[in-house]
Amino acid sequence: MAYPTPATAFQTAIAQWEGLWEDDPNDTGNYANCAAGGSTLIGTMRGVTPDVYGAYLKVDPCSLSASQMQQGVTLAVAADIAVTQFYQGPGLNQLTWSPLVAIVMDFGWTSGPGQAVSCLQGLVGASQDGIPGPETSALVNQYIAAQGIAPACDAMTAARVQFYQSISQPGTPDFEYRDGWVNRANWFLSSNPSPCWWDAWKGWVPPVA
């Protein structure tokens, strides 16, 4: 059976959870941080901020226009950005590709790769430095072997939800986003009724070393 690749896994998540164009001036993610200093409101397309798209194109994000982002950030481009900046960039490609790592990649998209990796490391008992390396890779493989892939994914989801709740208590700036973050995290639970994200991974087993 062909399981999702990093690109196809993230295309599915983007299509499910990210809208198209959004330029709310109250959302700081819609602003580009200029190379010369200061910032300017542009907008976000499919969850891709001007800063992220600028880094992908290797240009000053303040040189981007709204129409350039609307036309340029296709679903395939957004997924490629996720793979290059949120999978390969932080070193998640050093870990055995699995639904657990797909969850960590999505977590990194919403909260930063370092936070997502640190949370994974806490789950499996690795040093929480936010950098995946040989120790993290070995402990992740051991954790999956001991727990099973579905329980491992569900435990990662629970840790992700706990993080969102910790940073978005009533009265904090992030409180209004908490329900959306939690709903997105719980979408990855293996217990969700079909059709769901987990269906594409059913029957997955770690590759033979």
Token code pair at residue 167: 């940073």
- CA 77, chain centre distance (Å): 15
Find where tokens 């240009």 sit.
59
pLDDT of the chain, 209 residues: tens digit per residue: 689 999 999 999 999 999 899 999 988 889 999 999 999 999 999 999 999 999 999 999 999 999 999 999 999 999 999 999 999 999 999 999 999 999 999 999 989 999 999 999 999 999 999 999 999 999 999 999 999 999 999 999 999 999 999 888 888 777 777 888 899 999 999 998 767 889 999 889 887 65
What is residue 45's predicted lDDT score, i.e. its pLDDT? 97
Please tell me the pTM assigned to this model.
0.90
Phi-psi region of 190 (alpha: psi -120 to 50; beta: other; left: phi over 0): alpha
What is residue 193's predicted lDDT score, i.e. its pLDDT? 78
Crossing angle between the packed helical segments 149-167 and 134-147, to the nearest 10 degrees: 120
Count the residues in the chain: 209
What is residue 209's predicted lDDT score, i.e. its pLDDT? 59
Domain boundaries, the chain: 1-89, 95-200
Grouping H, G, I as helix, E, B as strand and the rest as coil, residue 187 is coil
- Rg value, the chain, Cα: 17
Q: List, in sequence order, every beta strand (DSSP E) within the chain.
A: 21-22, 31-33, 39-41, 44-45
What is residue 27's predicted lDDT score, i.e. its pLDDT? 84
